[in-house]
Amino acid sequence: MWLTIAIFSAIIFGLGSVIMKTATLQKCSDHYILLGLYISGTLFFLATTGGQIPTHTNYLFWVWSFLIACGSYFGNWAVIKALELGPASLTAPMLNLNLPLFIMMSIFMYGEHLDWIKALIIAAILFSLVLVKYDPNENLVIRNKKWFLFVFIGSLFLFLREGGLKITLEQGFNNKEILLVSYIICLALSVTNILPLKQKNNEQTNVIEQYKTKSLIFGLCTGMCSGLGLFLYSKALETGPASIVILIFSARIFVIIFFSYVWHKERLSLFQKFSLAAITVGISLASLIK
């Protein structure tokens, strides 16, 4: 069951990234994309907790909620900025620079055994991540150095979000409650960043306001995919091996590639086809884990 849940978490969360990429192509504002994302995401997690706002007395609950919120908000912000400056087929795999951190955390912190099946799965997925970076259909030379900075920042903050959910689960916290509080914090950050725009009146803010409605719609759709994807990811972590669940969740980059081919009419390169074959082998091997 954990394998199916993990696969669906990757697909759904990947769709959210596709919507986010589409928003950047439509010149939407990152401020309002994030606002819409955290409005719908907060409502989703509020529904999963039955409308109950957590009132924990354990300070670690609030510390981890804040850290995961920072990972989510600043990770998504960095991803949007990177997508604005570089192609999705390079940005998405480069965000998986944090994969070794996930694997080391699961094995050394939680004592998960690295048997030959897991080693093959890790090798297949990492091999596919390396292959997918070589796409002759796109310009591999990123001239804007800020792209590299945003990718590096994004990968670190996304590790804080996804790795943090594994840690809170091991500490016995309810991740639905953690995610609800985290999204409320992210929503507050979004509103805080938009308020100064209302007080300015220049060409840049006028353009942002012009695309406000469209940006909010894209953000709301992204938020539903983000919320459901993270919810399923958290459920998969409850019963599945963290090192494999995290790798499958990272495979959402191939959802981005596929829908970029269908939706944005991008062609799949030979390297990307080999990458998809490798990820299929890796996920198939995961079904052998007991």
Which candidate, 221, 233, 252, 218, places its Cα nearest to that of 41? 221
Q: What is the token pair recorded at 96? A: 């998986």
Over the stretch 120-148, which tens digit does the pLDDT of each residue have? 877 877 777 677 656 555 554 456 778 88
Quick one: three-class SS letters along the chain? Answer: CHHHHHHHHHHHHHHHHHHHHHHHHCCCCHHHHHHHHHHHHHHHHHHHCCCCCCCCCCHHHHHHHHHHHHHHHHHHHHHHHHHHHCCHHHHHHHHHHHHHHHHHHHHHHHCCCCCHHHHHHHHHHHHHHHHCCCCCCCCCCCCCCHHHHHHHHHHHHHHHHHHHHHHHHHCCCCHHHHHHHHHHHHHHHHHHHHHHHHCCCCHHHHHHHHCHHHHHHHHHHHHHHHHHHHHHHHHHHHHCCHHHHHHHHHCCHHHHHHHHHHCCCCCCCHHHHHHHHHHHHHHHHHCCCC
pTM of the model: 0.80
| Mean pLDDT for all residues in the chain | 81
Q: Where are the domains of the chain?
A: 2-286
Phi-psi region of 269 (alpha: psi -120 to 50; beta: other; left: phi over 0): beta
Q: What is the pLDDT of residues 94-112, one digit of tens each?
A: 777 676 677 677 777 777 7
Weakest-pLDDT range from 133-142, 204-213, 219-228, 268-277: 133-142
pLDDT confidence band for 213 (50 / 70 / 90): confident
